[in-house]
């Protein structure tokens, strides 16, 4: 049973009172998002850090941006972390999941919430809705967001990778996750005590990978989802979604049966060569920290 809520079920000020000393971090993985990241950080800082003290830190992990993402985020009040400076002994990896893994390491929160940095007309209801079940519902350790996604040309829709890749493979291989409305949504939150036990796929497979791993290691009873309202962000052309779909499929298949995958995943198109898709995984942070303690001089 996956419990489902609406962001209107929760009030930011009441959640701040319910924190009971817990530290809350909001992390934004960002690559070349100077147009939107500053407004998101400013909104979080003014409404959830200063006004009601629900959020204790806002962190932007700059994932090898070539624009002014880092400067804009810092000016808006975020703690900005260069992805290359976090756990450099594990290499200079790129990708959404890599930035999320590094943000978990760089943050101090007992509860971590992630939001995408390309959202237009950002609303703090996103964060309030994610934190609500974690702060008020016993047994909830991970909360996934879902929302309406208006298309730029009018109407509602989007979620093409979800409908054409994630949902079919969930139906076939992971039926316990069928109730999740948007398994690839980039807005979710969880307890550090759980998140540090999990590997993170470096690329776009991270969203589904976390859901599968949590459901199989802990069970779906600890997962909740919240309707976050409406989300506006750029809609990518179809050819940009194919590598994402391959990463999602690889993440699901390798967890079902690693023998199904032969060789490095590449996307091949007739007449266009091949595109290597990043599906590497970072180890659980509990293992990283254990290795670091062992390597320290006695």
- How far lies 46's CA from each of 42, 66, 76, 169, in Å? 6, 27, 10, 41
CB atoms within 10 A of CB 187: 23
In angstroms, the CA 278 to CA 286 distance is 23
Question: pLDDT at residue 156 above 70?
Answer: no
Beta bridge mates, 186:
none
Domain of 243: which CATH number?
3.90.550.10
Please, which pLDDT band fits residue 154 given cuts at 50, 70 and 90? very low
Q: How far is CA 233 from the centre of its chain?
A: 15
Q: Residue 282: name the closest of 111, 86, 112, 80 by CA.
A: 86
Segment 42-65 shows an average pLDDT of 97
Residues of the chain above pLDDT 70, percent: 94
User: Is the Cβ–Cβ distance between 125 and 7 less than 8 Å?
Assistant: yes
Strongest mean pLDDT among 6-20, 220-234, 253-267: 6-20
Beta bridge mates, 223:
142
Angle at 234 between CA 132 and CA 180, to 5 degrees: 40
Q: Residue 168: name the closest of 156, 183, 187 by CA.
A: 183
Those residues whose C-beta lies under 8 Å from the C-beta of residue 66, and which sit 6 or more positions away, are: 32
How many structural domains are present in the chain?
A: 1
Segment 43-52 shows an average pLDDT of 98
> For the segment 228-248, what is each residue's pLDDT rounded down to a tens digit?
998 765 567 677 788 899 999
Residue range of the domain that includes 157:
3-295
Those residues whose C-beta lies under 8 Å from the C-beta of residue 115, and which sit 6 or more positions away, are: 26, 27, 28, 40, 122, 126, 127, 186, 187
User: Is the Cβ–Cβ distance between 72 and 34 less than 8 Å?
Assistant: yes
The pairing of strands 119-120 and 111-114 is unpaired
Residue in the block written with tokens 């209107």: 8
Please, which pLDDT band fits residue 291 given cuts at 50, 70 and 90? confident
> For the segment 110-151, what is each residue's pLDDT rounded down to a tens digit?
999 999 999 888 999 999 999 999 999 999 999 999 998 665
In angstroms, the CA 285 to CA 279 distance is 18
């Amino acid at each position: 049973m996956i419990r489902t809520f609406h962001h209107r079920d929760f009030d930011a000020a009441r959640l701040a009172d319910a924190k009971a000393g817990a530290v809350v971090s909001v992390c934004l993985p960002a690559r070349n998002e100077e147009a939107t990241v500053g407004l998101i950080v400013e909104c979080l800082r003014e409404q959830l850090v200063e006004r009601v003290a629900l959020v204790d830190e806002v962190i932007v992990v700059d994932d090898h941006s070539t624009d002014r993402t880092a400067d804009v985020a810092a000016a808006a009040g975020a703690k900005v972390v260069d992805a290359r400076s976090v756990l450099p002994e594990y290499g200079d990896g790129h990708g959404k999941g890599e930035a999320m893994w590094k943000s978990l390491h760089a943050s101090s929160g007992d509860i971590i919430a992630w939001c995408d940095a390309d959202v237009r007309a950002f609303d703090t209801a996103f964060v309030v809705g994610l934190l609500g079940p974690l702060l008020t519902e016993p047994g909830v350790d991970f909360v996934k967001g879902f929302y309406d996604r208006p298309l730029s040309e009018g109407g509602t829709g989007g979620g093409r990778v979800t409908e054409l890749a994630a949902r079919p493979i969930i139906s076939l291989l992971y039926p316990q996750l069928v109730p999740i409305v948007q398994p690839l949504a980039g807005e979710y939150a969880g307890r550090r005590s759980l998140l540090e036990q999990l590997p993170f796929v470096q690329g776009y497979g991270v969203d589904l990978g976390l859901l599968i791993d949590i459901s199989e290691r802990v069970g779906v009873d600890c997962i909740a989802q919240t309707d976050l309202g409406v989300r506006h962000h750029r809609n990518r052309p179809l050819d940009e979604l194919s590598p994402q779909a391959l990463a999602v499929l690889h993440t699901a298949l390798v967890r079902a049966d690693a023998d199904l995958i032969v060789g490095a995943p590449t996307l091949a198109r007739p007449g266009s060569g091949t595109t290597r898709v990043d599906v590497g995984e970072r180890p659980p942070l509990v293992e990283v920290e254990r290795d670091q303690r062992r390597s320290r001089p006695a």
